[in-house]
A and B are shown apart, each in its own frame.
Chain A
Amino acid sequence: MKKNMFMLLAFSLVLLLSACTSGTAGDSSESSVDGNDPTSPKKDSLVVAYEADAATLMANIDVNYVTDAQIRNIYDPLIDRDGKTGDFVPVLAESWENVDEHTWKIQLKEGIKFHNGADFNAEAAKYSIDFILDEANQSFYRSRWVDVKEVKVISPTEIEIITSKPFPSLIQRIAEDLLVIEPGYVEEVGLDEAAKKPVGTGAYKFVEWSRDNYLKLEAFDEYWKGKPAIKSLEFRYIPEFSARLSAFLSGEVDLFKNIPVDSVDSITNDDHSKVAEVASARINYLALNNFYEGPLQDEKVRQAINYAVDVDELLNGVLNGHGTKMTGPLSQINNDYTETAEYGYDVEKAKALLKEAGHEPESLTLTLDTPNGRYPMDTQIAQAIASQLQRIGITVNVQTNEWGNHLEKIRNREMKDMFILGWGPAFDAQSTVENLFTKVAPYSGFYDEELEKEIYRVNQLFDEQERFDGFSDLQHKLVEKAAWVPLWQQSDLYAVRKDLKFTPRVDEKIQAYEMSWE
């Protein structure tokens, strides 16, 4: 009797579960459990997993990379960066020209259509820039564009951008921020609707967006560069990493970014999967805060810490080699990179410098703030740095912060001696140096009055060689003054289905148009 009842229960549970499945058994495309089936016809769909949904599908509003990486499949920029070199390449623009310090001319391509059939032209380009500048749209990009005074339509294929101040980095702003929207469509349906059902000139057309669930796109066959090889593209949102990994290993997902370095093996060991790696334009560093009244205001102490931190050991021991070492303020991928002297690991020099500065290492107690999970192994790196500094006698208290708090502490200048932070994508010197090493910018915790003057002078230079030399000189000086401890360019690690032709881009973007199945 006992046994029978139990069996009955077990049976009814199985029945209940199977009742749930049978209703949707025909819906095999949904459950995509067949992802790894070698007998299935040639695949032409792609599922990309992200940790979070896009905030909006409207271009030019949200600065978050998760939003940007997705909507760049729907909208095209005027100018883009080359996925390998980071150089500027024309997209909807044909060419550009700097007329004088306050004027830029941009020639546009002809014959390109939006998904709704409207023509791309100078009006659309102007509208897209004006969109950022219009306060009513609450674009988070606006602060970067406030120096743009006016956009003039010269002809259907030419616009002129007038700036209120010399704006040498305008092309970079265009490449990184600006996507082209269809004015007629936005005017017709309104901003709210356009933000939910976007129209662009990109390789993929909008199909369906289920909030916090998925975004489905399909190939735009009249795409001006030609038909995309991948016909349907889906972004799926899986917040929890382990679940994302499981979804990938089960074949539901074909591609996702940001594998923790300690999970790389579980992907390389899978027969259907591979790991793609690229040194990204995002850099990680240990900030030595001289805004804070403490020992790090002394150049010698900062130099000593540079000698005492063994970056190679951190890279190999904590990151399993997934990162590219840096020695100065800029990474090699940066257009304005100059090779600078390297401090190297030298405990004796570190101790000697501390003594010169009047400190017994044993008497020094420093704090080190780190976010948790924002950058690869950030907390572990902070702990490893603490133990390296411990070797020369310095006591380091590691403080782990939730990301929002970490950022706020930096912005409010509440950080103490040291903190870990990343910056990127850092393609050119100005956006890195100006935003990191001036008094108004708290992100490196370093500022020097003379260097600041020099930074502002070089920023205004238009002559390419002069500008390059200026930044080159600045890089050397920043290293001499031990502005920070440069760590590495982050490695972007992607989990990729083995037969997907995919080359990771240096700018973290996922462009389905560049991919295909073997």
Chain B
Amino acid sequence: MLDFIIKRLLQVILVVFLALTAVFFLIRLSGDPTALFLPPDAPREQIEEYRELLGFNRPLQDQYADFMVNAVQGDFGESLRSQEDALQLVIDRLPATFQLAIAALILSLVIAIPLGVLSAYKRNSFFDRIGVGLTVLGQAVPNFWLGLILIFFFAAQLKLLPTGGGGTLVHLILPTITLATYSIARFTRFTRSSMLDILRKDYIRTAKASGVPTFPLVARFALKNSLIPIITLIALDLGTLLGGAVITEVVFAWPGIGRLLMQSLMNRDFPIVLAAVFIIALIYAIINFIADILYAYVNPQIRVK
């Protein structure tokens, strides 16, 4: 087990390192940020002076080496625009992003699992077909479009909910629904197919034959077993929810990491972009690491292998 954990931990480090390396070089392809910060009438000497001050005139590999050495010590530098600690700016946004991602995850599980179970149980019924159709739709609808439509109806027309912003639970409703739609669809389909597998098993037939009533049969015997593979899915999706929140956060003006990342990309505020990528990659890798451990814990086969 210890070997397994160490191996997975090393993978976490590798993932974060590779993500940072890729993004470091990619954003530099977009060009030099100094042009965007100085007033347009800034003379060439001052642009050069800033490039030197910020180190953008040095060879790329030197910049990269410096960045990595500092990053390992938790220093991502200061925001180019506001001169505040980049990592701190990102960490300040973490709670908002988590709040949204977890709300979306809970909403998707609460809706998707019963829906998936019911679909499987009533396989090929009218309900099942509608359900499957809706899940396809749910996976196909783009986030930003759904978000705008929800804002239009519930906020602008009906005036029931705020259009955006953060702070209270009311602000959380529309972005949560928007963000959860995709996961609801995914979880429903997954639960359905996983349930279908289980329902075909001999022990279910035996239980059914020996007179176990429907509800306990489904809930206790079938569902429990079909949920094991869902753990991995939840972990993967929580990562996706945290990352996919970029667009939802922008549409709903939600003050989280995704929005900060988007804005910093537009402003070419490199230190913030890298700090945000670091945090997102780290969270993603850690969640998957935990999922692996949990999975091994619930499913001893993995450990043995």
Which A residues form the contact surface with B (CB < 8 A)? 2, 5-6, 9, 12-13, 16-17, 20-21, 23-24, 27, 30-33, 36, 52-53, 55-56, 61-64, 138, 140-144, 192, 195, 210-214, 236-240, 242-243, 245-247, 249-252, 402-405, 407-408, 411, 423, 431, 434-435, 440-441, 443
Contact = CB atoms under 8 A, between A and B. Distances in A.
Given A2-B125, A2-B127, A9-B114, A407 B35 contact: yes
Contacts of A443: 40
A21 B31 contact: no
Given A20-B173, A212-B260, A243 B122 contact: no
Contacts of A431: 41
Contact of B163 (A138, A214, A238): A238
Interface string B124-139: 0101000000000000
B255 A243 contact: no
B81 interface: yes
Nearest to B260: A212
B41 A144 contact: yes
Given A404-B30, A408-B35, 5 more contacts: A24-B170, A63-B37, A240-B144, A240-B251, A443-B40
Contacts of B76: none
Contacts of B110: 12, 16
A461 to B, nearest CB: 19
Interface in B71-117: 79, 81-84, 89, 92-93, 107, 110-111, 114-115
B155 A210 contact: no
Contacts of A141: 39
Nearest to A246: B156
B83 A246 contact: no
B173 A246 contact: no
Contacts of A252: 155, 162-163
A143 B162 contact: no
B266 interface: yes
Contacts of A20: 169-170, 172-173
Given A24-B170, A246-B151, A238 B164 contact: yes
B41 A210 contact: no
Interface stretch (B6-14, B43-51, B205-213): B43-51
A9 B115 contact: yes
The 5 residue pairs across chains A and B that have the minimum distance between CB atoms: A246-B156, A212-B255, A247-B163, A143-B46, A213-B255
B118 A239 contact: no
Contacts of A249: 156
Contact of B81 (A6, A55, A411): A55
Contacts of B262: 239
B156 A33 contact: no
B155 A239 contact: no
Contacts of A435: 40-41
Given A56-B83, A239-B263, A242-B151, A5 B118 contact: yes
15 contacts: A6-B127, A30-B168, A30-B170, A31-B170, A33-B161, A62-B81, A63-B39, A192-B84, A211-B255, A243-B151, A243-B164, A249-B156, A404-B36, A408-B35, A435-B41
Contacts of B83: 56, 61, 138
A242 B118 contact: no
Contact of B43 (A33, A143, A192, A212): A143
B164 A404 contact: no
Nearest to B38: A140
Interface of B: 30-33, 35-44, 46-47, 53, 79, 81-84, 89, 92-93, 107, 110-111, 114-115, 118, 122, 125, 127, 144, 147-148, 151-152, 155-156, 159-170, 172-173, 250-253, 255, 259-260, 262-263, 266, 268
Most buried by A among B32, B83, B110: B83
Contacts of B156: 245-247, 249-250
A32 B53 CA distance: 46
A441 B41 contact: yes
Contacts of A36: 159
A55 B82 contact: yes
Contacts of A405: 30-31
A430 to B, nearest CB: 10
Contact of A243 (B30, B111, B163): B163
A243 B263 contact: no
A187 B6 CA distance: 50
Contact of B165 (A27, A236, A434, A441): A236
Contacts of A143: 38-39, 41-43, 46
Contact of B164 (A140, A247, A402, A434): A247
A237 B263 CA distance: 12
Contact of B159 (A56, A61, A63, A251): A251
Contacts of A55: 79, 81-82
Contacts of B42: 140, 143-144
A21 B31 CA distance: 45
B40 A213 contact: no
Contacts of B152: 242, 246
Nearest to B125: A2
Nearest to A27: B168
Contacts of B81: 55-56, 62, 64
Nearest to A138: B83
Contacts of B38: 63, 140, 143
B154 to A, nearest CB: 9
A330 B21 CA distance: 47
Nearest to B54: A138
Contacts of B43: 143, 440
A39 to B, nearest CB: 15
Contact of B162 (A5, A33, A140, A237): A33
Contacts of A33: 159-162
A238 to B, nearest CB: 4
Contact of A240 (B31, B35, B166, B253): B253
Most buried by B among A17, A31, A402: A31
Contacts of B53: 138
